[in-house]
Amino acid sequence: MVEFVDLLNIPIQLLYYSPYHSQYNPIEGCWGILDQHWNGGANLVDVEVMVSWASSMTWKGLYPILTLSKTVYQKGISLTKKAMKQVESRLQRNPLLPKWDILIQPL
């Protein structure tokens, strides 16, 4: 995110939902609808069928725009302590909610 902020040259504020508060997160509502849609008898035998079902669902009257990514991401990648310290120095944490409210300013 720090690199993204620098690329766009605009600040980004990250607001996280605390655990067990998914009812406040709009994307969770979308996943719930997709789950209900699939539980209606879909036989999810392959990726094409899953994408087709996901494309046909609606949320608040809107259809999703889907793109299947076949990118394989590496697992277990982590920053060194020195690199993480540099990233942390760029994060401005709200003192009242330091884990849930973070502002990143561009350089």
Residue of 35 and 20 predicted with greater confidence: 35
Residue 90 is predicted with a pLDDT of 93
Residue 54 is predicted with a pLDDT of 81
Q: Is the dihedral of CA 17, 54, 73, 107 positive or negative?
A: negative
Residue 27 is predicted with a pLDDT of 72
26-83 pLDDT, tens per residue?
777 777 777 776 777 777 788 888 888 888 888 788 888 888 889 998 898 888 999 9
pTM score of the predicted model: 0.57
User: Residue 16 and residue 93: Cα distance in Å, rounded?
Assistant: 12
User: Residue 26 and residue 34: Cα distance in Å, rounded?
Assistant: 13
Tell which residue, 43, 61, 62, has the closest CA to residue 53. 43
Which stretch of DSSP H or E encloses residue 6? helix 2-8
